[in-house]
Structure 1
Amino acid sequence: MGAMMGGGVGLTIGFIFGSWSIIRHGAGPRGFMATLSQYMLSSAATFSFFLAIGSVIRSDSQTMIPPHLQALQLQLASADPVLRSKFQGAQLMRARWEQERKRQQPSSN
């Protein structure tokens, strides 16, 4: 994906700067199309090379899942539902407090 984006950006920048150079200095002995295509292809190759390297570095993980889908996967995989009513939350809190009290009480043997 980075190489494709870099190629598109490079072609555009090569067209702009190549056209400007041809307007200012002339096409040269090779002609207009050969000079413009050289600017465009060299710029596209340079941009696509560096953007491809950047995209490989950024996506250097085991799973190629986008971050928003990873968050959704974690949310759906959790045992506890994320949204609860106030009553359910209060019941859960009371149950946890009761467990904590039982754990803190010394056992009498």
Structure 2
Amino acid sequence: MPAVPAGNYYQQGPSCWDKVKLGFMMGFTVGIATGSLFGGFTAIRYGLRGKELVASVGKVMMQSGGTFGTFMAIGAGIRC
């Protein structure tokens, strides 16, 4: 049986910056999904097709992802 080395070994959790980054990425992902649904329905309702549809939905996805990601990052930063 191998010997266990003596000493104090502590497992460290994620830093505050890591938590803020994770909060942003989770919020961005949720915002992208929400933006694709709402942006897609809105663009189709307006009668957009082809390049216009893709450009409009992409813009809404990036905007909602960035907005929700920012709020989630702020919330994660407050909890640190």
TM superposition outliers: structure 1 runs of 4+ over 4 Å: none
Indicate the percent of aligned positions where both proteins have the same amino acid: 40
User: TM-score, normalised to structure 1's length?
Assistant: 0.50
Aligned length: 58
Indicate the SS of the match to 2:48. coil
CA distance in 1, matches of 2:47, 2:66: 24
The 3-state SS of whatever aligns with 1:31 is helix
Structure 1 residue 6: Cα displacement: 0.5
Using structure 2 for the length normalisation, give the TM-score: 0.68
* RMSD of aligned residue pairs (Cα, Å): 1.4
> 1:41-56 maps to which residues of 2 (within 5 A)?
41-56=62-77
Give distance in 2, aligned partners of 1:53 and 1:32: 32
Letter aligned with residue 42 of structure 1:
Q
Paired position in structure 2 for 1:31: 52
3-state SS of 1:39 partner: helix
Between Structure 1 and Structure 2, whose CA radius of gyration is higher?
Answer: 1
| Structure 2 unmatched ranges of 5 or more | 1-21
| Structure 1 unaligned blocks of 5 or more | 60-109
Q: Which whole-Å CA distance do the structure 1 matches of 2:32 and 2:54 have between them? A: 14
